Structure 1
Amino acid sequence: MHCTLPTTRLPFITLPSRLPLYRSTHRLPLPGPPPTPAAPPSMSRTPSKRTAAELVATSRHNAVDEATDQSTLAQPLERLPKRGATVDVQVSSLAYGTGLGVARLPSSAGESLVLFVRRAIPGERVRVRVVSRRRNFAEAVVVERLEPSSPFAVAPRCRHFLEGCGGCTFQNLLYAKQLEEKESQVRAIYQGLFQRLSAGDARAATAAALEQVRFEPIVGATELSEVYGYRNKMEFTFGPRRWIPANTVREESPSDHGDHQPEAPAPTDFALGLHAPRRYDKVLAIEDCALQGDVANEILRFVERRCRQRVACLPPYDNAAHTGFLRNLVIRSAVNAAGERELMVNVVTSPPDGPHEDEALRQLADEVWEAFAESGRGLVCVLQNITTTKSGVAVGEREVRLKGSRSALEQALRPLRWVAPAYLRNMPPERLQQHTVLYRISANSFFQPNPVQSEKLLARILEATGLLETASSNRQTFVVDLFCGTGSISLCVAAFAARVLGLELSESAVADARANAERNRIVNAEFAVANLDHETLWKAVQTASISQAVDVLVVDPPRAGMNPRQVRAIVEAPAAVRPRRIVYVSCNPATQVRDLEMMLAGDSPYRLRSVAPVDQFPHTPHMEAVAMLEIRDDKGAGNASA
């Protein structure tokens, strides 16, 4: 059910042009001296690090558990509300993974109900209507926002947020509070891991080992320009059914750019934008997306107007009837080695019904090229991807270059600029300046949507590998990168390792990784296709003709996590091939913790040393986490000295 939000604007809080890196402040000291840190103090990014033991003692931010603990959020009710009932609640936090507001309703009978409220933020009182009900939790939508407003509320920059656009989850929440909530969620997930590991027979030993775990503060955006306009790729959908929200907002706002002019209401049989929440048959028309750059928004409006004028020749695709021509508009951007911004326009279509559709599309490409390439706006190509599938995936089986001399962008990343200075003490300044990795981004290739935060993520990965701390002649020389994709991590660490092997299931991704290695003149990185669901890591390494023991193992699996078979293969590996260090990168900390529990349970040869969360996507519930495991001293490793 669609949530109708009031049109009343939230109080605006002015943010500085530079945002301080968020640091945690809620810390309860444990009695006695502080535990010994897992790394020398010089490696600490901040003077305060919370250990796993402190997390177990103080963390109370798991969504349902936290709501259950906070009995002062509401007066007890005689009976808990059923579906369709309206009730006033106080929102205390955000739920992991969904970004829904969390509130608790106690009853006089001693029962309680946890409410997950769509589009609600911590600190606000809201009147909600229950739309679904389970035994001890329910989901609700906001009917009215009550006074006083949340101290963390800000005015959303994007006009479409109040219309129910699903591109952002909590654009109305102060960014510093977003970071605090995300860090609390990661800590809560790891708290559960620590508690489960401490409940076994070796409880004292496990608890002692966990004392050495460093939990890094979350790394978020530090510039206001990184909080908005950070996405280098947006996929918009063409559709014949336009979603018109009850509270349509179309007045002028500071987010208007370029050639935007107020127009008459658009017809309801054509739309270019994003799918309405929970309504994949309708499209919410988007005029200006705050997550992409100004020129990209100008392109979006330009294409929408031209296509609407030619709707007879360029009909939008109907995903119910599977008819029509225009499917998606994909706008990608990148910053090349010279610091220049490049843009790509990719129109995904069905096969044309006749020459009139081809001719109309080429006319559109000519107009886009004249407006954004010949005028020096950074456009380098206009592409057409043709697909025959019925799915909504914006990927074509055949590609046509309509305009431009090339069909890919160049993205330059410089992760060393975000590495803590303590890790770079022994590195020559010229090497710091030279460490730039170039990536070729084609229409259908995967690349992290937030380049600046990707640099910060790669910096955390580099720190976790230990490669910056040792000379290349040491034993920490052979790195294996599982789920390497197009080689973003492999190519970044190659400058600090003697040899890197990237393993990936996708043949096209491996081809892109090899091309990226050649582009950067990296000769010590190899890439191979490996189906890790059917063969073990060690067999894949042997297949690649590598007899060398693995020093550092980097794993960056999809959201579903690792196959349990692979986890067991890593933990149960013979000492001769056992990696000395494991760096687990994840876009889903919940599945990351599930896999780490298998790696650390029982008489595991590994111990968890650090966890570093990174906010890749402001205004959404998504985040990354980098966990580092090291071999225990009594378990040995493949290249360990006697």
Structure 2
Amino acid sequence: MSVQSDVNAEMMTETLSGNQTAEEYAYLDRGGFSSEKFKIELRGLPKFYGIAELKKLMNQKLGLNTSKIKRPKNGSHWLYACFQNEEERTKAIAALNGYSWKGKSLIAEVAKPAPDPLVKKRKLEEDGIGQDKKKKEDDNRSQQQRLAEATTPYYNIPYEEQLQLKEKEIRNILMKFDNEIWKIAKQWRSKIEEQRKVHNGLSFQLLPIQKSPVTEGYRNKCEFTVGIDEETKFPTVGFRLGSYATGTVAVGPIQSLIHISENTKKAVLLFQDFVRKSSMAPFSPADYSGYWRYLTVRHSNHTGDIMLIVAIHPQKLSTEELDKIKKDLVEHFSSDESVACGIKSLYFELLIKRRAGEEAAKPTHLSGATHIVDTILNRQFRISPEAFFQINTAGAEILYQNAIEMSKVDKNTTVVDICCGTGTIGLCFAKHCGKVLGLELVAEAVKDAKANAELNNIENCQFFTGKAEDILPTVLARANEENVVAIVDPPRAGLHTRAVTQLRNTKKVKRLVYISCSPASAVKNFIDLARPSSKTLRGAPFIPVSAVPVDMFPHTKHVELAILFEREDEKSNAPENAEGTDKTNTETEMNVKYEHSDV
């Protein structure tokens, strides 16, 4: 009997015992790919590891084909990995079970698919089991209150108290990082303990949290879901009141939320009016029926211009039917009301359920401008539908200004902007340094970065496309100056381990400013930057000097953090022969890659 057959038999046994029902697992055969169908549980993971590292181990070293990794919020020593079919899952278990990774022996076993949360919740309610304390509390709260608590959990806390909570959380994260360095760097312990007396328990300076200049209506980008309002039963454009995993697909209106601008709210209502007049239903995540999916609104705080990206699931609509929808959208958003609220750009996007999840076609421009323009530190930036741009424009000015001051750049400095996006950070640095070299994975973002340089008449910036861990040596080879400062602003998960290694091993990088929107997720990067030299990390470590939190997300628990690292003295910290190895191996490797690269 196959593993899947065993799971099916177990589910059938539970069905007969009355604990579960076949209906709760019907979604597995509904059509389309479900990450629950061929899932394993992986336990015994090391204390510190990155998801990118684990994917590399599984997909590259062990030759597996992982479609999704799901790490639970309550722990990092186990997770679920999902595969496309039974054969790939069986292969994964055989390869991973008992495998030694980072000194830990992994345990891999079949994981039973979770029951459909919507079906499970409905049955519990029918049986009168779901009326627990949490549900009773929910019943006593208005829909607006539930939505506010989900999106802006600090909305009813005075702003100064919000700042205190965030500063305390940042200090706790940095204390854990500091303690980890104390454990792994015995030779620095006396110095760390001496510095902690100066910096209130930390071995480096933590500056006071920087306030957001704007605390209401600050978001310049929001993605709204189209669904059914559980109170009015009408199609509604807003935010989900919960997740599918908790058995919730209802959508609530966003008019009372304080972090969304008034013109964005007006644009949402205009689209909601269009959806309600349409004969097509919103997409249902319960059975994959329906059409309307999302509305993304991008809003320039400088000009007030708004860009809309309307996303639908096409189901079996013909090309002619899709063209009719596009034509109707253009007509609807050409009204005087649309113009009055600042809608200047309209795009259309198809989202389709595939075996490996959901795919989006490139947004199609329907009408108006192809870009909107916003301003940070007197620099103009064009924003395309898919471009990354800090969601709090005024807060970004505070963040970038702090990064510039921390970096101590001058006209003899080359700034390497890693994960540069559309070039916002690098272009803000440009007038303070000799040269900026930016690198970014998304080709469209690099195209925008080059256009932004031209828009601002900036000539000392170059931008390159590729993964940081792949092209960083090549880009660093272009930095002729001895004084090189790296600016790192990676995605939430942090920088790839290979990119950290290359930064460590390129000794002309003297300082590094690490900007993180999820400091807790970036701690592994912090540790690898600061850990003592080794055969892999040949260059001298980067030691944290100062950190500053910036409140980019008022009324939420999130906070941005910028940390300045400075290279420790090479001679006193590098292992024996490390300096020579760095010269002969790392720089030679970089020059070889440069000769064979079109970067």
Determine if the TM-score, normalized by the shorter chain, exceeds 0.5. yes
Q: In 1, Cα distance between the equivalents of 2:492 and 2:176?
A: 19
- Scaled by the length of structure 1, the TM-score of the pair is 0.60
- 175-184 or 188-197, which moves further after superposition? 188-197
Letter in 2 for 1:166: A
Q: In 2, Cα distance between the equivalents of 1:357 and 1:568?
A: 49
1:296 aligns with 2:264: yes
Give the match for residue 193 of structure 2.
Answer: 207
Residues 1:526 and 1:242: Cα distance change in structure 2 (over 3 Å): same
Residues 1:272 and 1:634: Cα distance change in structure 2 (over 3 Å): closer
Contact 1:583 1:628 in 2 (8 A): yes
Letter in 2 for 1:369: S
Q: In 1, Cα distance between the equivalents of 2:461 and 2:341?
A: 36
Contact 2:532 2:541 in 1 (8 A): no
Letter in 2 for 1:401: H
Give the match for residue 59 of structure 1.
Answer: none
Matches within 5 A, 1:113-128: none
Residue among 512, 520, 529 paired with 1:599: 529
How far residue 489 of structure 1 moved from its aligned partner, in angstroms, is 0.8
Give the match for residue 344 of structure 1.
Answer: 307
Residues 1:462 and 1:159: Cα distance change in structure 2 (over 3 Å): farther
Contact 1:164 1:277 in 2 (8 A): no
Contact 2:301 2:374 in 1 (8 A): yes
Q: Deviations over 1:279-314 (max 9, x none)?
A: 37613231514321112212212321232122x1x3
1:554 aligns with 2:490: no
Letter in 2 for 1:407: T
How far residue 611 of structure 1 moved from its aligned partner, in angstroms, is 0.4
Give the match for residue 249 of structure 2.
Answer: 282
How far residue 356 of structure 1 moved from its aligned partner, in angstroms, is 4.9
Contact 2:297 2:306 in 1 (8 A): yes
1:231 aligns with 2:219: yes
Q: In 2, Cα distance between the equivalents of 1:438 and 1:188?
A: 37
1:568 aligns with 2:501: yes
Q: In 2, Cα distance between the equivalents of 1:570 and 1:330?
A: 36
Contact 2:550 2:559 in 1 (8 A): yes
Residues 1:140 and 1:163: Cα distance change in structure 2 (over 3 Å): same
1:160 aligns with 2:95: no
Residue among 215, 218, 238 paired with 1:273: 238
User: After TM superposition, where is structure 1 displaced by more than 6 Å over at least 4 residues in a row?
Assistant: 391-395
Give the match for residue 26 of structure 2.
Answer: none
Matches within 5 A, 1:337-416: 340-351=303-314, 353-354=317-318, 355-356=320-321, 358-374=323-339, 376-389=340-353, 396-404=360-368, 406-414=369-377
Residues 1:309 and 1:530: Cα distance change in structure 2 (over 3 Å): closer
Give the match for residue 584 of structure 1.
Answer: 514
Contact 1:556 1:585 in 2 (8 A): yes
How far residue 385 of structure 1 moved from its aligned partner, in angstroms, is 1.9
Residue among 230, 241, 250 paired with 1:243: 230
Residues 1:634 and 1:565: Cα distance change in structure 2 (over 3 Å): closer
1:538 aligns with 2:468: no
1:507 aligns with 2:446: no
Residues 1:159 and 1:175: Cα distance change in structure 2 (over 3 Å): farther
Q: Secondary structure at the match of 1:620?
A: coil
Letter in 2 for 1:397: A
Contact 1:607 1:632 in 2 (8 A): yes
How far residue 333 of structure 1 moved from its aligned partner, in angstroms, is 0.6
Q: Deviations over 1:317-354 (max 9, x none)?
A: 23343333321112111034xxx311122211234714
**RMSD of aligned residue pairs (Cα, Å):** 3.3
Q: In 2, Cα distance between the equivalents of 1:219 and 1:393?
A: 39
Q: In 2, Cα distance between the equivalents of 1:401 and 1:529?
A: 24
Q: Deviations over 1:227-283 (max 9, x none)?
A: 2211011111123x4434xxxxxxxxxxxxxxxxxxxxx335x33221221237613
Q: Secondary structure at the match of 1:243?
A: coil
Residues 1:513 and 1:233: Cα distance change in structure 2 (over 3 Å): same
Residues 1:363 and 1:564: Cα distance change in structure 2 (over 3 Å): closer
Letter in 2 for 1:600: A
1:178 aligns with 2:141: no
Letter in 2 for 1:387: L
> Which runs of 5 or more residues in structure 1 are unaligned?
1-96, 99-138, 146-155, 245-265, 415-435
Give the match for residue 80 of structure 2.
Answer: none
Letter in 1 for 2:186: D
Aligned-residue identity in percent: 26
Give the match for residue 188 of structure 1.
Answer: 172
Q: Secondary structure at the match of 1:388?
A: strand
Q: Deviations over 1:385-423 (max 9, x none)?
A: 23334599998424333332x121000112xxxxxxxxx
- Scaled by the length of structure 2, the TM-score of the pair is 0.64
How far residue 370 of structure 1 moved from its aligned partner, in angstroms, is 1.1
Give the match for residue 102 of structure 1.
Answer: none
> Which runs of 5 or more residues in structure 2 are unaligned?
1-72, 75-131, 534-539, 573-578, 583-599
